[in-house]
Amino acid sequence: MKKRRAVITGIGVLAPNGNSLVEYWDALIAGKSGIAPIQSFDAENLSVRIAGELSGFNPEDHLDRKEIRKLDPFSIYALVTSQEAISHSGLDQSDVNKERVSVIIGSGVGGIQTLENQHGIFSNRGQRRVSPYFVPKMITNIAAGQIAIHHGFQGPNHTVVSACASGTDAIGSATRTIQYGDADVVVTGGVEASITGLCIAGFANMRALSTRNDDPTGASRPFDADRDGFVLGEGAASIILEEAEHARTRGASILAEVAGYGSTDDAFHITQPSKGGKGAIAAMQHALNDAQLEVEDVDYINAHGTSTPFNDKTESAAITTLFGEHAKKVKVSSTKSMIGHSLGASGALEAAACVQAISHNILPPTINYNTPDPECTLDYVPNTAQEAEVNVAMSNSFGFGGHNGVIVLKRWVE
């Protein structure tokens, strides 16, 4: 049976440096950082006081105040970005068969803000003061559920939880859902709202976070020799994925095709990547095989590139090993340098950047790249966006637990 093709027709974004797809992309190619001192709570007593928070975002511009009270921020982000993506795709919901519309969203920790808040209330004020909305606000699947309820989408509905690979794995799972004929349209992507005191404390005590509190915009510096950890971010990206013939029949503008997906596990360590990036190499190779492409076909890689010492050198080694001579030509950048690491949302935000790179033939830079690391020897598009023809882009995501997710996106060709 001929494999059905999965294409992207709409994107919605909330990111620390832009509250729409256009704002996000303009900020990326301008090298604009969204990392700043934490504003959403008092972080004075924390060792890390910077993060990539959403700026200037007001939920009441998008949702009713009464509805907002029943939603954790991560569900709000998912609802807002999914609506932008649906509008961007031009999907007429009065004509679409909603039984054939699926929702598959990735998130690493779900409604952790609600969990922390309600735990505090329970500890200090007892059971009677705990909100009856506690569980349905907190559970990680509820963002996908809320999108389905909001729009009446009755197809397969799943949530992917694979730490920092969640967003990429969600897009990969959505692609499979299209290919196997279980849906004609999938609302997919990733979402995270995990900037809390407890999350900051946990990551800081692991020594995973940058401590450049006095230099927020310079704190996330992937592949730079002076990197000292990642910066926690938040946000969401929603993507409308369609079966190609479905999109063509309704006259949709096709932005790119999800041509390949690969997934592996290092089976090595809970937080550190396997030596030499063995699992990452396998995931990248699986994605290329699925896309029926060779390494020489890849023009651009949006790297996982977290700005941690182990991850960046291991990912660089993995790319160098797999791509061989082509590693000297392929362009690699980390947009986390501008928005931080938004955990389960990161893969979706980076997929959105890849689609824009294909659409505009512009590569977003890795900012704060000042001192080359002898163990990171690729072309990281340092500090300034570059014009380049981009027909095939790869997006890498690697998560705690050894999860590796890779997708290959390519320019749409009839």
Residue 164 catalytic? Answer: yes
CA-angle at 312, arms to 192 and 336, nearest 5°: 35
Residue at token pair 């921020």: 73
Structure tokens at 247: 């999109």
Q: Which helix (H) or strand (E) holds 166?
A: helix 166-179
Distance CA 395, CA 348 (A): 9
Pick from 333, 166, 358, 183: nearest CA to 257? 358
Residue at token pair 């700026």: 55
Asked if residues 317 and 356 have their Cβ atoms less than 8 Å apart, the reply is: no
> What's the length of the chain?
414
Catalytic residue among 304, 354, 376, 403: 304
Residue 341 catalytic? Answer: yes
Structure tokens at 413: 């060709």
| Residue 62 buriedness (CB in 10 A; 0-12 / 13-18 / 19+) | middle
Catalytic residue among 164, 199, 354, 376: 164
Catalytic residue among 341, 354, 376, 403: 341
What residues does 404 pair with on adjacent strands?
Answer: 264, 398
Query: Helix or strand or coil: residue 14?
Result: strand
Distance CA 38, CA 270 (A): 28
CA distances for 369 relative to 45, 104, 266, 309, 364, angstroms: 30, 35, 28, 14, 13
Residues with a catalytic annotation lie at 164, 304, 341
